Structure 1
Amino acid sequence: MKRIIVIILIVIAVLLGAVLAIPVFFKQTIIDVAKSTLNKQVNAEVEFVDLKMSLFKNFPKVTVDLQDVMIKGKGEFAQDTLLNVPRFAATMNISSLFSSNRSIEEVILENPSLNLVVAESGNVNWDVAPASGTAEKKSAAAADSEEFQLALENIEVNDARLIYNDKLAKMRADLEDINLDISGEMFGNTTQLNIGGVVRDLTYSMEGVTYVSNTSLDLKTLLDVDFESMLFTIMESELLVNRLPLELSGDFSVPNDTTFLNLQLNTKASDFENFLALVPKDYEQYLKDITTTGSATISGGVSGYYIDEDYPKVDLQVKVENGNFKYAEMPEQIQNISAEMLMGKPQGDLDLLKININKAHAEIRNNPVDLTFKISNPVSDPLFDGAFVGKVNLDHLKDALPIDSVNMSGIIDANLFVNGRYSDVEAEAYDKIKSDGVVLLNNFIYDSPELTQQVVIPSGKMDFSPATINLSDLNMRVGQSDFHLSGKIGNYLNYVLKDGVLNGTMKLNSNFVNLNELLSLQVAPTAENTTETASEEEAVLAFDVPENIDFTFRSSINRAVLNRIPITDIKGEVKAVDKKLILDGLDMNMLDGKMTMNGSYENTTQNQPLFDFGFDIAGFDIPALYQTVAGFRKLIPGAGNSTGRLSTSLGLKGRLSPQLKLIPASANGTGKFSTNNVEIKNSQLFNQLSGIIQKEKLRDVTIGDFTANLTVEDGGINLRPFTTKVIGQETSVSGTLNAQNLLDMRLDFNVEREMFGPDIQKILKVLPGNEKITMLPAGVLIKGPVGEPKVNLDLSATQKAVTDATKDDLKNSLNKLGDGLKKLFK
């Protein structure tokens, strides 16, 4: 008995060892066979990183896992990946490993991505069937193909993605998050298959226009399959488009390269409420708590055959009748909703497709809105014909729809018609397009929590022609600012239909503009864990200039205010183009002087706008500058009691902060500035010179008119040496102001003898030969923070001048002068 138990244990150990050894012994063989077979069967490059085998997971079946399977195209599709499967699992019977006929029973694909491309040449990347060769090659391929036989009973696809990109027809479909389960005997002559599939997100676009988005599909169907004739008949089917239940019936067959279809699609229920299920999921929240009446149906089918560019007949009808819907808490309802859309084509290419919205109609409190639209030749050269006629009272609309985020009121009266071909839009052959209409605005008000001010349009008129939209009598108020706009907007059809550039030339007149309000018009987002209202320092004032526009505003503004600076008589051009704001000769009166600005502004992703401005300033009043510009008060603290005028010509470029303040270290430029009739009163800086100049002369310090050149490098101002007169004394000035607002300046005076203070006069009188001294140099060093610099004297030049004038008894003279000066400046 003991021996029998030992023998059984040995047998079990040997079998277990064999089971463990099989994956090792057969792994490389299967990898080689799989790669060889796959690459011979397709005209593409097939690769996978690794192969894993498991005998225990589905024993007595073998599970083979291919890791990172990839199929790449050849030729013009060499850079395209047709199929990428992170995990491809196949299950086969263990006995197949020891047989020449290996059969696959189950296939599982995890996160596959299928990328179907139609090139502009018309070639497709999924045509990977190998070209026909010699009989020997065909025989070899047939022999290889017999190495794997399909005995499939289940196919499972998880979290797949499918992209269809037709570059020739400019059409694209994206299917995201696909899950598919097919069960049944997928071999033999006939069978029945249970198919369940879900597409969580379907998007479809054509010619850059998105027609379907955020749409989900859910399909459950029972297929009767005849493998000999490749005929598939739908026995039972349920299709959900979002939440709309549809019924799919009919059959299709693929006997050869041609696919034959005979499919019908119908709604299972005709209630208008079910039809609203077509609304994308992202907007379902807006359809809560509503009651509906009316009917809506979808019916039609696809019949014919498909091969190459020959597509089957399509006949689809969508119809809505007597529709009404009302929100529970709203006093008004949208009523008399009706629509009929026909989409169809005969057998042939896709260019035969026609879409026809015969009439879409709705009313709110007896105010009707009607829409018609037709499109044909969608592939080659779309022909469009549409009309919109309606009068919308926004106050009534608010009573019917819960528009919580914005507050709008007023009346929009529109009557628009358009007919033409897309090729004429591209060629800007607007004379071939029929377009006419007018939009009237009356007492329009727009108020949003994202804006700090109301936008009010008391009246406005827009006339539409094929080439332009003419604006006339468009009056607007934004907070305290008023605007009157007139002009033309061109290329609007190209802008709407093809993402072209919208251009326009407008006249902008205004009596008053509050730039402080406009710069903070958009409410700045507040960060978490902060107060609800951002402080002025935190508010983001940087703004983006829209792309795809080319607008010129010829401005004439009587009055404006920026910070506390009053500005008058603003004239010039402001352009918005290529995401830039360009100022071209913008003239204005401010600070009792004149300023002309030129340059550009462009925001960045970091909300640190780039600027490149030129300033020409003539005769700014210094006291007014001091009273209104905080930065000038910090730069020259005592200028409030001064008189005179400042002029400058400066080119400066750099970056601004999100609050539109200069980032000093980014600034670079060149320029010059000049003064006229400057007199500085009771200056703390000049009072520190009372040791050498008569104190009463320092009360009102006059500065001679001068012109100085400067450069700005990385935020630092370098003042080139220049000469002027201070209190009538010849003075040379030079220095720098760095980006940290630290001054380093030097003033070299030539002081006339009678200007010296009494103590200096006494010292000079005792010096031998002092009658020769009529003028002495004196240096003044100013260093430190702007507003509180330290003033030091440099008397080296003074000593040398005295030495040269009193060579006799030099030592005694210098000692007396040095002791006296030290006493004065302690």
Structure 2
Amino acid sequence: MKRVVTIVLIIVVILIAAVVALPLFFKQNLLDYARNTLNKQLNAQVEVADLKLSLFRSFPKVSVELQGVVIQGKGTFENDTLLQLNSLRTTTDFKSVLHPSDMHIEEIVVDNAKINLLVAKSGEANWDIQKTSTGSEVKTQDTQDAESEFHLQLDKIEIRDVSVIYDDQAADMLLQLDDIDFDVSGQMFGSSTQLKTSGGVNEFSFSYAGVNYISKTKLSTTTLLNVNFETMTFTIAENELLINRLPLQLNGDVSMPSDSIFFDLGIQTNSSDFENFLALVPPVYESYLKDISTSGSATINGAIKGYYFGESYPGFNLNATIANGHFQYAGMPEDIKNIRAKVSISKPQGDLDLTKIVVEDAHAEIRNNPVDLLLKLTQPVSDPYFDATFVGKVNLLHLKNALPIDSVNMSGIIDANIMAQGRYSAIEKEEYQKIKTDGAVLLNDFVYQSPELTKEIRVPQGQMDFSPKQINLSKFHMLIGASDINLSGAISDYLSYLFSNGTLNGDLQLNSQHTNLNELLRLQVAETNGSKQTSEEEVLAFNVPPRINFRLKSNIKTAVINRIPIRNINGVIKAANEKLTLENLDMDMLEGQLKMNGSYQNTVQNEPLFDFGFDISKIDIPAMYNTLAGIQKMMPMTGSSTGKISTDLGIKGRLNPQLGLIASSINGKGTFSTNNLEIVNSPVFNQLSGILKKEKLRDIKVDDFMAHVNIENGNLLLTPFTTKVIGQETTVAGSLNTENLIDMRLDFMVQRDVFGPDIQKVLGVIPGNEKIKILPAGVNIKGPVGNPEVKPDLALTTKAIADATKDDLKNSLDKLGKGVLKLFEK
């Protein structure tokens, strides 16, 4: 007995070893065979990462699994992947492996696959990859007999986590099915059978010509099919179809006796409640339908009848009818009632361009405010013809009381009566005279508040009149915070902008009694990572919208930006190519006048590029100092100055996100000049009391002058110029760098009677000093502009004295030098 047990154990171990080793012996050969066969049969590049052959997984069955299958196109679709398959597994009995002519496969399991079906604009399809046979490829009788004897017996198909994209670039159509799970079970062989199918698509989307008609809709079905394999007819015995949560019933049959597919199907709702119809809303929007009560009826029915072959599609009709619809959100005082509509989508046998969509008698009411819509759409593939009318009067306060719009506060009345009729090709060709549009939209007492905005927007009165070419703003009065804005003019090419990715053109006049630019620049609340920014972090840089070409002529009586009061703003502002351009923008400010030309364009880093030219005429220096914080920091001496300053300056560079200058990026050049400049009790000039009389330094008058400046990478370079300071000829030169460090030199030619008493005493002991009438004196000013160091330079003074007194000075030179040095050490 012990011997028998030992022999059995040895046999079991050998069998197990054989089962384990068998896949190892054949794996590489099978993998190479699969790759080579697929590449020979298909006009594509096929890769198979791995092949697993297992006798354990489904013992005593054989399990074969292909992993990492990738099929890429060639030629037109060389860079496109047709199929990416994680796993394809089949299970069969061992007998089928030995006798493939009578193969019985129990199941096929497809797991995690992506199928990308493409049709190029030329009409080529990326799935047309089967190689055409040549005349030399003649099948032998043995081959034909072997194929006729091959019988595939299949019991189950499982599809898990599969996505399908159908992108028809020729028809501008996109179909997406994501997260497909599907099971088919039953005997898929013999002359007839019954199959059970179940599963669905988690997200189904469809768009045509850039318009998204179906968005992330959920589909699921359970169907019992009677199948006749001889005539290839599939008859629906039982069916339940769910579109999102709307239950539908499908009946009829589909047959494929040849290359054509014949349809004879009907569809209808299992119930007629309006609530079920609302279930068509995609799941992503279902949260908006919570806590509502509904009433009314809604039915859907339709049929598909005909054949599909080539470009001929079966006829179909789909009808939806809503009657006496009503819904109300819990806790909301208003409801939406008297909802009704008739929707018909139909097409006879033939081309898809024969499809016709009709929406009739679409109506809804909030309190006593009705909204009505009529729509007819034909030839949707070749050249859509549309005929639409919208008539409605909506009280926004009633609307807010009917819908849970908690994030915004709206009130006012919108009264619209608009119609449009024509063909899409006329829009593409900008033949707007072929489009018939008419109507108007009126706004009365419109108010809009949102957490996204810092100020409410009010439109006491607004009117937009529509024509095929343009929208006319005959009167549009708007209030934003402290700003009042009146717009008039025309907005043209709006049809091309809406439907053909065209450019929206506008020619408008803006009139305002007062505009607060501080509020308008901060109208939108800035956020970072979901939290409100501090004032130091807030981003004021803004983007000019793409695809617009606007010309705005302004006439603003008064305005304010930062603390600067401005009056009489006139000029042209253009917005095009995502750039803002100013043309001859004139304004009165700081008791002078400013004219601006230039451009502004934001960047992805929110560091806008600018290129501006300023022509500033006779700005009042005290007003400038008291208003502009930057001037107080850069030019503190202006705080004790009077007079006017003018400049003609062109600069370009970058701004930071808060619209402040990035100093190191600034380059430019220009001139500045003064009128009646007087510097009163300046701390800088007070340090010259050792050279000049103190009484002369209290009120320093500067003759009018013009100076040239260059700005290089933020550093201001002053070209030397000559003027008179306290009546003394003075040459000025210097620079101001990006760190606000000043380096300036003043070279005076000082008349003798202006020198201070200390220098007068020194001169009094020099023989021949009566010959000296005027002397040079230099001053170096260096350091922070707010507190620079002032150092007199008397080298030229000493030389001038020596030259003037000549021999009389020789005996007194040493004494003079010591006296001067002692004087300026005080």
Q: TM-score, normalised by structure 1?
A: 0.94
Cα distance per residue 1:730-752 (max 9 Å; x no partner): 33333332222222333333333
Alpha-carbon separation, structure 1, partners of 2:791 and 2:159 = 84
Q: Who is 1:353 aligned against? A: 355
Please say if residues 469 and 493 of structure 2, whose CA atoms lie closer than 8 Å, have aligned partners that are also in contact.
yes
Alpha-carbon separation, structure 2, partners of 1:95 and 1:729 = 119
Residue 146 of structure 1: CA displacement? 10
Residue identity opposite 2:660 in structure 1: K
The reply on whether 1:709 has 2:711 as its aligned counterpart is no
Residue 803 of structure 1: CA displacement? 4.5
Aligned to 2:158, which of 147, 151, 156? 156
User: Which deviates more, 657-666 or 569-578?
Assistant: 657-666
Residue identity opposite 2:49 in structure 1: V
Q: Who is 1:421 aligned against? A: 423
Alpha-carbon separation, structure 2, partners of 1:218 and 1:177 = 12
C-alpha change, 1:722 and 1:130, in structure 2 (3 Å) is same
Residue 247 of structure 1: CA displacement? 1.4
Q: Who is 2:746 aligned against? A: 747
Q: Who is 2:449 aligned against? A: 447
Residue 818 of structure 1: CA displacement? 4.6
State the SS of the aligned residue for 1:625: helix
Residue 650 of structure 1: CA displacement? 1.9
User: Which deviates more, 327-336 or 98-107?
Assistant: 98-107
Alpha-carbon separation, structure 2, partners of 1:727 and 1:542 = 46
For residues 618-637 of structure 1, the aligned pairs below 5 Å read 618-637=617-636
Q: Who is 1:87 aligned against? A: 87
Q: Who is 1:256 aligned against? A: 258
Alpha-carbon separation, structure 2, partners of 1:78 and 1:42 = 14
Instruction: Please give the root-mean-square deviation of Cα atoms over the aligned residues, in Å.
Output: 2.6
Alpha-carbon separation, structure 1, partners of 2:417 and 2:143 = 67
For residues 96-111 of structure 1, the aligned pairs below 5 Å read 105-111=106-112
Residue 441 of structure 1: CA displacement? 1.4
Alpha-carbon separation, structure 2, partners of 1:807 and 1:642 = 42
C-alpha change, 1:86 and 1:685, in structure 2 (3 Å) is farther
Residue 619 of structure 1: CA displacement? 1.0
Q: Who is 1:585 aligned against? A: 584
Cα distance per residue 1:598-621 (max 9 Å; x no partner): 122222333322222221111111
Residue identity opposite 1:133 in structure 2: T
For residues 358-373 of structure 1, the aligned pairs below 5 Å read 358-373=360-375
Cα distance per residue 1:277-299 (max 9 Å; x no partner): 11122222221221111100111
Alpha-carbon separation, structure 1, partners of 2:791 and 2:152 = 98
Residue 400 of structure 1: CA displacement? 1.8
Q: Who is 1:120 aligned against? A: 121
Q: Who is 2:380 aligned against? A: 378
C-alpha change, 1:688 and 1:341, in structure 2 (3 Å) is same
Residue identity opposite 1:650 in structure 2: L
Cα distance per residue 1:292-314 (max 9 Å; x no partner): 11100111021111122111101
C-alpha change, 1:499 and 1:189, in structure 2 (3 Å) is same
Q: Who is 1:608 aligned against? A: 607
Cα distance per residue 1:543-592 (max 9 Å; x no partner): 22222221111111111111111111111111122222221111111011
Cα distance per residue 1:302-344 (max 9 Å; x no partner): 1111122111101110110111111221222211110001001
Please say if residues 703 and 726 of structure 1, whose CA atoms lie closer than 8 Å, have aligned partners that are also in contact.
yes
Q: Who is 1:782 aligned against? A: 781
State the SS of the aligned residue for 1:57: coil
Q: Who is 1:240 aligned against? A: 242
Please say if residues 638 and 682 of structure 1, whose CA atoms lie closer than 8 Å, have aligned partners that are also in contact.
no
State the SS of the aligned residue for 1:650: strand
User: Which deviates more, 177-186 or 631-640?
Assistant: 177-186
Residue 150 of structure 1: CA displacement? 5.0
For residues 689-768 of structure 1, the aligned pairs below 5 Å read 689-768=688-767
Q: Who is 2:213 aligned against? A: 211
Alpha-carbon separation, structure 1, partners of 2:723 and 2:453 = 52
Alpha-carbon separation, structure 2, partners of 1:263 and 1:187 = 24
Q: Who is 2:556 aligned against? A: 557
Residue identity opposite 1:118 in structure 2: V
Alpha-carbon separation, structure 2, partners of 1:61 and 1:802 = 120
Q: Who is 1:46 aligned against? A: 46
State the SS of the aligned residue for 1:693: coil
Q: Who is 1:598 aligned against? A: 597
Residue 474 of structure 1: CA displacement? 1.4
Alpha-carbon separation, structure 1, partners of 2:50 and 2:696 = 94
C-alpha change, 1:295 and 1:703, in structure 2 (3 Å) is same
Q: Who is 1:394 aligned against? A: 396
C-alpha change, 1:184 and 1:739, in structure 2 (3 Å) is farther
C-alpha change, 1:333 and 1:295, in structure 2 (3 Å) is same
The reply on whether 1:18 has 2:14 as its aligned counterpart is no
Alpha-carbon separation, structure 1, partners of 2:535 and 2:721 = 40
Please say if residues 184 and 197 of structure 2, whose CA atoms lie closer than 8 Å, have aligned partners that are also in contact.
yes
Alpha-carbon separation, structure 1, partners of 2:402 and 2:416 = 20
Residue identity opposite 2:502 in structure 1: G
Alpha-carbon separation, structure 1, partners of 2:186 and 2:371 = 53
Q: Who is 1:470 aligned against? A: 472
C-alpha change, 1:802 and 1:263, in structure 2 (3 Å) is farther
C-alpha change, 1:769 and 1:225, in structure 2 (3 Å) is farther
Alpha-carbon separation, structure 2, partners of 1:598 and 1:86 = 61
Residue identity opposite 1:492 in structure 2: Y
Cα distance per residue 1:125-147 (max 9 Å; x no partner): 22222213225355699799899
Residue 109 of structure 1: CA displacement? 3.2
State the SS of the aligned residue for 1:174: strand
C-alpha change, 1:151 and 1:697, in structure 2 (3 Å) is farther
Q: Who is 2:131 aligned against? A: 130
Aligned to 2:514, which of 482, 494, 512? 512
Q: Who is 2:682 aligned against? A: 683
In structure 1, stretches of 5+ residues that fail to align are none
User: Which deviates more, 95-104 or 534-543?
Assistant: 95-104
User: Which deviates more, 84-93 or 606-615?
Assistant: 84-93
Q: How many residues align?
A: 823
Cα distance per residue 1:417-436 (max 9 Å; x no partner): 11111111111222222211
Residue 219 of structure 1: CA displacement? 2.1
User: Which deviates more, 151-160 or 697-706?
Assistant: 151-160
The reply on whether 1:481 has 2:483 as its aligned counterpart is yes
For residues 160-199 of structure 1, the aligned pairs below 5 Å read 160-199=162-201
Residue identity opposite 2:81 in structure 1: T
Alpha-carbon separation, structure 1, partners of 2:348 and 2:5 = 78
Aligned to 1:227, which of 226, 229, 251? 229
Identity %: 57
Cα distance per residue 1:439-481 (max 9 Å; x no partner): 1111111122211112111112211111111111211111111
State the SS of the aligned residue for 2:279: helix
Please say if residues 559 and 566 of structure 1, whose CA atoms lie closer than 8 Å, have aligned partners that are also in contact.
yes
State the SS of the aligned residue for 1:111: strand
Residue identity opposite 2:579 in structure 1: K
Please say if residues 178 and 203 of structure 2, whose CA atoms lie closer than 8 Å, have aligned partners that are also in contact.
yes
Alpha-carbon separation, structure 2, partners of 1:343 and 1:811 = 118
Alpha-carbon separation, structure 1, partners of 2:148 and 2:577 = 62
Residue identity opposite 2:728 in structure 1: Q
Alpha-carbon separation, structure 1, partners of 2:94 and 2:683 = 100
Residue identity opposite 1:757 in structure 2: G
Q: Who is 2:410 aligned against? A: 408
Q: Who is 2:34 aligned against? A: 34
C-alpha change, 1:554 and 1:412, in structure 2 (3 Å) is same
Cα distance per residue 1:95-135 (max 9 Å; x no partner): 66666667754333333211111222222222222213225
Residue 671 of structure 1: CA displacement? 2.3
Please say if residues 763 and 817 of structure 1, whose CA atoms lie closer than 8 Å, have aligned partners that are also in contact.
no
User: Which deviates more, 245-254 or 43-52?
Assistant: 43-52
Please say if residues 347 and 355 of structure 2, whose CA atoms lie closer than 8 Å, have aligned partners that are also in contact.
yes
Residue identity opposite 1:408 in structure 2: M
For residues 226-305 of structure 1, the aligned pairs below 5 Å read 226-305=228-307
Please say if residues 768 and 813 of structure 1, whose CA atoms lie closer than 8 Å, have aligned partners that are also in contact.
no
Alpha-carbon separation, structure 2, partners of 1:688 and 1:336 = 87
Cα distance per residue 1:612-631 (max 9 Å; x no partner): 22211111111100011000
C-alpha change, 1:4 and 1:355, in structure 2 (3 Å) is same
Residue 8 of structure 1: CA displacement? 4.1
Residue identity opposite 2:782 in structure 1: K
For residues 302-317 of structure 1, the aligned pairs below 5 Å read 302-317=304-319
Q: TM-score, normalised by structure 2?
A: 0.94
Alpha-carbon separation, structure 2, partners of 1:130 and 1:273 = 52
State the SS of the aligned residue for 1:136: coil
